[in-house]
């Protein structure tokens, strides 16, 4: 039993890290390891006496939207002062974490759930099509706050018998740029994948980035470590050329598409057993023409099936989900189909992401606290961990 005066929270820690922290307080390693497993596997708070339940940010809002596979649920957890109290004079009394549980039906017909987690409150990347970007970066989340989203999702997914329904996949595609907070994201992934803890397979976790090349270079090293090679990596490319990408994704002015492709090729070489995911938000009048499809196919050529290898890349076309006050509408079904067919005709392995949660501002690119949009402030922390 962990019985120190100030209990150690297992959130965001692997079993071994938790046990080492306990050992520094005189707790025998076997006892700490058992407490860790009981906390995660049996959801037994008593395994760590006096651990306050407030270590999990409380759920303050939940929005459900039915879809063909089930119900898409967006839930909001609240971060209280002191760090969020500084916004009170701007009419923002709290900072919130938004996460989404997405029902999925696989090829076998089995129903599962994907959890879309946030890594930051707000985002510094400035992408014009994204609601979160309109907030700017408020602060990065800790590994414990990231894992806390998984814990909260399990509280929501309770079946009729009172048992928790498992989360099958975790995608870092919520609020924030994961590679802008890479140290904490990697700690959270290590915890989520711990066999004595949440026990998520590494192959069921995907990190999505808008293209921080410094962070991608770090991932080239990370995925060569034991146990990490199956980590999913997704690049939100969203444009077929530097000209278009510069307009909608300011980060491209620092790291252009040629440099992006080079680092993705490096990733391909060290983890050829798993496909790289390329995400493409299809925006009417911006990146959806036949010419754009041809340019994108040329850029993706190294990741397409050849005589010596299968497909290394998967293009995931995402119909644009309008943010608040969006200058663009959602694309028509005809334009989405035309673009997908154009890509497939070039030999690109392409799929469409089904739209879920759009009416609840829970779909891809729609997460964000409207009260914080457009306010001027300095982020609480500026995380440089990707570099």
Write down the pLDDT at residue 273: 73
* Pairing relationship of beta strands 120-122 and 137-140 according to DSSP bridges: antiparallel
213 and 260 Cβ atoms separated by less than 8 Å: yes
Q: In terms of domains, do 31 and 114 share one?
A: no
Would residue 131 count as lying in a domain? Answer: yes
CA distances from 151 to 7, 55, 130, 157 (A): 18, 11, 26, 10
Q: In terms of domains, do 293 and 202 share one?
A: yes
Q: In terms of domains, do 40 and 62 share one?
A: no
- The SS3 assignment for 331 reads coil
- pTM of the entire structure? 0.90
Q: In terms of domains, do 162 and 303 share one?
A: yes
- The SS3 assignment for 142 reads coil
Backbone angles phi, psi at 306, to 5 degrees: -130, -175
Bond into 386 cis (ω within 30)? no
Which of 11, 33, 52 marks a domain boundary?
52
| DSSP character at residue 250 | G
Which of 36, 52, 68 marks a domain boundary?
52
Would residue 306 count as lying in a domain? Answer: yes
Q: In terms of domains, do 292 and 345 share one?
A: yes
H helical segments located in 332-382: 333-344
* Pairing relationship of beta strands 276-282 and 313-319 according to DSSP bridges: parallel
CATH number of residue 180's parent domain? 3.20.20.70
Query: Could you tell me the residue range of the domain that residue 24 belongs to?
Result: 1-52
Rounded distance between C-alpha atoms, residue 56 and residue 7, angstroms: 14
Neighbour-count burial of 310, counting CB atoms closer than 10 A to its CB (0-12 exposed, 13-18 middle, 19+ buried)? exposed
Would residue 66 count as lying in a domain? Answer: yes
Q: In terms of domains, do 211 and 124 share one?
A: yes
Q: In terms of domains, do 26 and 175 share one?
A: no
Q: In terms of domains, do 28 and 130 share one?
A: no
Q: In terms of domains, do 230 and 320 share one?
A: yes
Would residue 386 count as lying in a domain? Answer: no
pLDDT tens, residue order, the chain (387 aa)? 554 557 899 999 999 999 999 998 888 999 999 999 999 999 999 999 889 998 999 999 898 888 888 888 999 999 875 454 566 666 666 788 999 999 888 777 788 899 999 999 989 999 988 888 888 888 899 999 999 999 999 988 875 555 667 899 999 999 999 999 999 999 999 999 999 999 999 999 999 999 999 999 999 999 999 999 999 999 999 999 999 999 999 999 999 999 999 999 999 999 867 889 999 999 999 999 999 999 999 999 999 876 556 668 999 999 988 877 788 888 999 999 999 999 999 999 999 877 654 445 445 655 566 555 555 444 444 344 555
Write down the pLDDT at residue 384: 46
Would residue 377 count as lying in a domain? Answer: no
Q: In terms of domains, do 71 and 46 share one?
A: no
Write down the pLDDT at residue 380: 44
- The DSSP-derived string for 221-242 is HHTTSTTTTT-EEEEE---SSH
How many domains, in total, are found in the chain? 2
Would residue 73 count as lying in a domain? Answer: yes
Write down the pLDDT at residue 1: 52
Write down the pLDDT at residue 230: 94
50 and 7 Cβ atoms separated by less than 8 Å: yes
238 and 281 Cβ atoms separated by less than 8 Å: yes
Rounded distance between C-alpha atoms, residue 85 and residue 83, angstroms: 6
CA 91 distance to own-chain centroid: 28
Would residue 384 count as lying in a domain? Answer: no
Q: In terms of domains, do 123 and 37 share one?
A: no
Write down the pLDDT at residue 107: 76
Write down the pLDDT at residue 91: 62
CA 339 distance to own-chain centroid: 26
Q: In terms of domains, do 22 and 145 share one?
A: no
Active site residue 364: yes
Would residue 322 count as lying in a domain? Answer: yes
């Amino acid at each position: 039993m962990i019985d120190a005066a100030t209990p150690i929270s297992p959130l965001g820690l692997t079993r071994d890290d938790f046990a080492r922290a306990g050992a520094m307080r005189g707790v025998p390693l076997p006892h700490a390891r058992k407490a860790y497993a009981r906390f995660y596997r049996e959801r037994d708070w008593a395994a760590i006496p006096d651990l306050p339940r407030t270590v999990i940010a409380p759920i303050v809002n939940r929005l459900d939207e039915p879809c063909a596979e089930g119900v898409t649920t967006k839930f909001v957890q609240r971060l209280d002062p002191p760090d969020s109290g500084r916004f009170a004079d701007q009419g923002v009394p709290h900072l919130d974490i938004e996460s989404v549980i997405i029902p999925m039906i696989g090829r076998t017909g089995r129903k599962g759930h994907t959890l879309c987690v946030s890594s930051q409150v707000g985002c510094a990347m400035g992408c014009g099509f994204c609601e979160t970007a309109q907030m700017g970066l408020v602060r990065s989340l800790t590994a414990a706050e990231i894992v806390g989203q998984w814990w909260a999702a399990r509280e929501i997914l309770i079946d009729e018998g009172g048992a928790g329904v498992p989360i099958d996949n975790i995608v870092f595609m919520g609020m924030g740029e994961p590679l802008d907070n890479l140290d904490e994201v990697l700690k959270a992934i290590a915890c989520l994948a711990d066999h004595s803890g949440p026990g998520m397979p590494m192959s069921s976790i995907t990190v999505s980035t808008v293209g921080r090349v410094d962070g991608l270079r770090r991932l080239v090293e990370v995925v060569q470590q034991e146990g990490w090679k199956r980590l999913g990596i997704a690049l939100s490319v969203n444009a077929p050329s530097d000209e278009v990408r510069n307009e909608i994704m300011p980060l491209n002015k620092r790291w252009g598409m040629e440099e992006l492709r080079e680092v993705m090729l490096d990733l391909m070489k060290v983890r050829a057993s798993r496909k790289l995911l390329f995400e493409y938000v299809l925006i009417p009048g911006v990146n959806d023409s036949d010419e754009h499809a041809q340019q994108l196919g040329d850029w993706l050529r190294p990741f397409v099936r050849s005589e010596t290898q299968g497909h290394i890349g998967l293009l995931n076309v995402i119909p644009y989900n309008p943010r608040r006050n969006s200058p663009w509408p959602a694309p028509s079904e005809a334009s989405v189909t035309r673009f997908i067919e154009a890509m497939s005709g070039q030999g690109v392995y392409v799929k469409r992401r089904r739209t879920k949660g759009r009416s609840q501002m829970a779909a891809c690119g729609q997460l964000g606290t409207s009260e914080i949009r457009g306010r001027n402030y300095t982020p609480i922390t500026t995380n440089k961990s990707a570099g």
